[in-house]
Structure 1
């Protein structure tokens, strides 16, 4: 076993003294969040305070000069999770008592779109669905002294029996930076913060507009969401409902 504490750890292996070693086949190399760059096990050990030493086998049979390293790891498998929302089939897609979480991730910008849906019933016993859409900026774009992050958040209640929403509203959500980063990381086992965590106080949830009526179709909802989201989030939002977006929409 070698002291690899100072190695440069990556998704599939690590760099030590200009040599690239693959991780041992018995090490689980799965990551904790969509943007994580090292296996979850390694990240946990690196985060221990005070720091500890890490020892691993350095198998020369699984090593090459770092300049010849080949990596097949990518974020492609992390590009999205959850269903593709289908309003005509929503009753089957969203189970009773379960919140369906959909996350799509822009590979170029690192921004994410979050859609989460929960089945409910109104006072008359009619089935309805709360649809929540929130844009999550890549935290890397913010300056170090920015302690507050504000996101656009659209909520609506959809009745499948009417094939329409009863209302749609837009709010600005405000988060402390550490809470927002926890949401964005989407690694609740590590952070204790689920990606669908909502703001806790009324002052942190600022309502901008609300529309009510009998003609709020799924198409109107999608158009309103796209118009309300900032431009970098419109394409990845449309992916969540199996559509596409162009600027003239």
Structure 2
């Protein structure tokens, strides 16, 4: 006797999420029959959202989460803003902040190569994670489908090649903060591996690694420091 096999497509979930991206309306839990079951299906949904909205991805973003699986999703140019841009909290749902770094590729990322990515510039950044859902809970599959919780990425000035082991810190301006040593080389290698598994990236594509520090809530002026990559500040209101 042949067991019933699940027939699933990312399109139904992508339609729900694409509407939430366009309108800003809160999304309730996806119906079980259309919800992705794992991170692989969640990533299919995320790219199907961009296809539905006719938004080309400009890179790959990894979001490290303490005690949970790393989220992988597409980076979108329209979600990248320069440091100093005031950010309205009412435009984001359940926002949380972590330090991040951006690598701009100087050469294509060949899907058949395992060489380290070659960067034109590196940027200290502030990752603003946000949801399209009414609450901040959810499993890895759901959060991957939700564009890997992509809200905004605030980018500092570009730097030439710099030491890859940096001291990362994040917090309210003038407040206490935890300083952590982070190996950006290892993080970017992981991001490059994810990008290669999805077909690679052209020169100029972005590798974004977020979650480099414990998260903080978005309020007032928040500053990020990544050692030789520099500092940046963003104001939330």
TM-score, structure 2 normalization: 0.31
Larger Rg: 1
| TM-score, structure 1 as length reference | 0.30
